[in-house]
Amino acid sequence: MRKAFGLLVIICSLPLLVFLFNKIGAELSSAQTFSKQFSSSVQLTDTQAINPTILKDENKKTFSEEYSQWRDPIELGNVPDFAKEIFVYSEDTGFYDHMGFDLTAIARAFMANQNDGATSQGGSTITQQLVRMRYLSQEKSYERKMLEIFYAYELEKKATKDEILNDYLNEMYFANGVYGIGGASTYYFNRPLHSLSKAEIAFIAAIPNNPSLYDPLRHFNNTKKRQERLLDKMVEKDELTEKEAQILKNKKITINIKQKKQLYPEYSTYVMNELRSLISQVDGYHVRFNAAQTSAEKATIDKELTERVKEVVDSGVVIQTALNPEKQTDVTKSANSILKEYSKLQAAATVINNDTREIVSVYAGKGYIKYDFNRSYQAKRQPGSAIKPLLDYGPYLEKYHATPDTLIDASDFCKGTYCPRNYDNVSVGAVTIENAFKNSYNTAAMRLFDHVGMKKAFSYLQPFTFDRATKRDLTYSAAIGGFTDGVSTVQMADAYTSFIDGSYTRAHAIRSVKTRSGKLLYEWPDTSKIIWSNSTVSGIRQMMASTVDSGTGQGISANSDYVGVKTGTTNSYKDFWITGLTNKYTSAVWLGYDTPVKMESLENDKIHHKLFNAMVK
């Protein structure tokens, strides 16, 4: 009885709605008002599909695809006529004639449902199916069917037939997380739609009618049978002869599933993290965040940034990166080999190209897999003496125009109750700055830091990415690497690029972020600035080279005319660092355990030296 009443409501209401909108609405102001109220109540907001984000290496080859749903959007003009026709003839023969719904089809579907004893989704036009996919639930009821008709009518007023068909073909579900006919083509056959045969097009066209029943990976025979029925439909419409259809039916269908590209996961996860920083920088979120007065304001801005990043990622952008695939492969292979005999010992590293200031490879840790803890940027550890060139020696050379040969007092030093000691409690007197540098005397570094002044010394860190350190670590212990939150290898390598020539541009992995059509959305701005004078750069580079020749960096080697480093060891030997440069690369290496433990027994193994050599070779 309820179904009979539902049929009566639909049949009676639809002609009335058409009459009200198209006849009375043109003559009576009250009807015009009603039509406007109805139109405003049905909000056809733009929807954004979740499209794959593509990452490309320096050679412009795709190395990673980030997606939970596979889509490969395609413009209607690039869809073969046969593909368009097979959907129109099988789903909605009167598509180009109706106003969004088809009364005859609805009535026919209702009668079929009565015979089957169930309510189905039959009788829906392509427009109705599109609005159901976009705006409505999959509930099977007459009330939802009526709402579907209202939406379809509104959509037909706002969009052309070609626009509706274009969206329909791109939003249909093809099973296995695949959406759109372009996505179905590249997923099931690993080829673009224009290269498919008519038999293959008909095969994937069989899927959306019932993605579970016609899933070709689980029910291939079901899909094949529906393909043949669709080819028969094309014969009925005189698009194929019976002979042509039979030839197509006999063609063997060979599925070639697209494999999701997930190469170099340590680099791709870093890129996706950098994307957030890039958007924050270009769109000004970082400025608003720093200016916010309360934690609530900061939380709101952070949420807005998160939503914007999601919007960009879901739009299916192409991210051009600086990844050097050969370098990344070699770095990962070499580091894993060096660490393999040391059980839970871990490491992290970042390698930057000196000419471009681009991050060309990262090492995220032994045994790293996608979405693991990426130590290259997520592991924040105290840098020890590796911070001294940036916070002590560089600022001192700048302020006092000193040179590596300048004598300084390296005797015992105390600031209040804080009295740092040198390695092995060695006591020294007056030494050259170079001697203090290459032997990493803490007492000398503390005196330089004190002479420059804490605030002045920390001002040299401001241009770099040590955000937390410059706000929370204004202490004397920071002069020898005692940071509260620690730093990452990305941050250290980035800052050390300032010793290439005295200038600093934030190191980055992302070259550009573009839409699929090639429109530029984001790229890092050119914010190069001079940090160090030529004399300071020359002095620091000389002392880093001396560290390799006769200091704590002995054992470092590289196929380069120049190699210079600064080592770092934290209290109780819980962290080992080496950061430095060659002619071609700047690199930072950290060695330690995720849960810090003493590593004094590993000091003579010089594992971090071997790792640095692997990074810059």
- Angle in degrees, CA 312, 464, 376, rounded to 5: 65
pLDDT on residue 99: 83
Res. 102 pLDDT band, cuts 50 70 90: confident
- 426/244: higher pLDDT: 244
Is residue 25 pLDDT above 70, yes or no? no
Looking at residues 501-510, what average pLDDT do you find?
98
Q: 45 pLDDT exceeds 60?
A: no
Indicate if 383-487 has the same CATH topology as 53-66+261-381+488-500+537-617. yes
| pLDDT at residue 304 is higher than 70 | yes
pLDDT bin (cut points 50, 70, 90) of residue 9 is very low
Bridge partners, 445 (sequence order): none
Higher pLDDT, 33 or 245: 245
Q: Check residue 508 and report its DSSP letter.
A: B
User: Catalytic: which of 185, 280, 385, 488?
Assistant: 385
**What value does the mean pLDDT of the chain take?**
89
67-71, 137-141, 156-160, 396-400: least confident range: 137-141
Q: What is the mean pLDDT of residues 574-598?
A: 97
- Identify whether 91 is a catalytic site residue: yes
- Is residue 141 part of the annotated active site? The answer reads no
Asked if pLDDT for residue 116 goes beyond 50, the answer is no
- Residues 303 and 321: beta-carbon distance below 8 Å: no
Q: Indicate the CATH number for domain 53-66+261-381+488-500+537-617.
A: 3.40.710.10
Q: What is the dihedral of CA 115, 121, 125, 128, to 10 degrees?
A: 150
% the chain with pLDDT above 90: 74
Residues 515-552: pLDDT tens digits? 999 999 999 998 899 999 999 999 999 999 999 999 99
Identify the pLDDT of residue 44.
55
> Does the pLDDT of residue 14 top 70, yes or no?
no
Q: For residue range 193-249, what is the model confidence (pLDDT) as tens digits?
A: 999 999 999 999 999 999 999 999 999 999 999 999 999 999 999 999 999 999 999
Mean per-residue pLDDT for 70-83? 94
**Looking at 35, 65, 85, 91, which residue is catalytic?**
91
pLDDT tens for each residue of 553-562: 999 999 999 9
Q: Name residue 295's amino acid.
A: S
Q: How many CA atoms lie within 13 A of 237 on its CB side?
A: 17
Q: Inform me whether the pLDDT recorded for 268 exceeds 70.
A: yes
> What does pTM read for this prediction?
0.82
pLDDT band at 359 (very low <50, low <70, confident <90, very high): very high
Name the β-bridge partners of 352. Answer: 359, 586
Share above pLDDT 70 across residues of the chain, in percent, rounded to a whole number: 86
Is the separation of the CB atoms in 87 and 169 below 8 Å? Answer: yes
Ordered DSSP codes for 515-546: -TT--EEE------EE-S-HHHHHHHHHHHHH
The most confident of 28-42, 116-130, 265-279, by mean pLDDT: 265-279
| Side chain identity, residue 615 | M
Q: What is the pLDDT of residue 250?
A: 97
Q: Which residues contact 257 (CB under 8 A, 6 or more apart)?
A: 187, 188, 190, 217
Q: What confidence score (pLDDT) does residue 559 get? A: 92
**The tokens of 121 are what?**
């989704």
Tell me the average pLDDT across 446-464: 95
Residue ranges of domains in the chain: 53-66+261-381+488-500+537-617, 383-487
Least confident of 92-96, 276-280, 365-369: 92-96
Burial string for 343-375 (b: 16+ CB within 10 Å, else e) reads: eebbbbbbbbbeeebbbbbbbbbbebeeeeebb
Q: Is the pLDDT of residue 21 over 90?
A: no
383-487: CATH number? 3.40.710.10
- pLDDT per residue as tens digits for the range 136-169: 755 555 566 678 888 888 888 888 999 999 999 9
Token output for 77: 């003009």
State residue 251's pLDDT score: 96
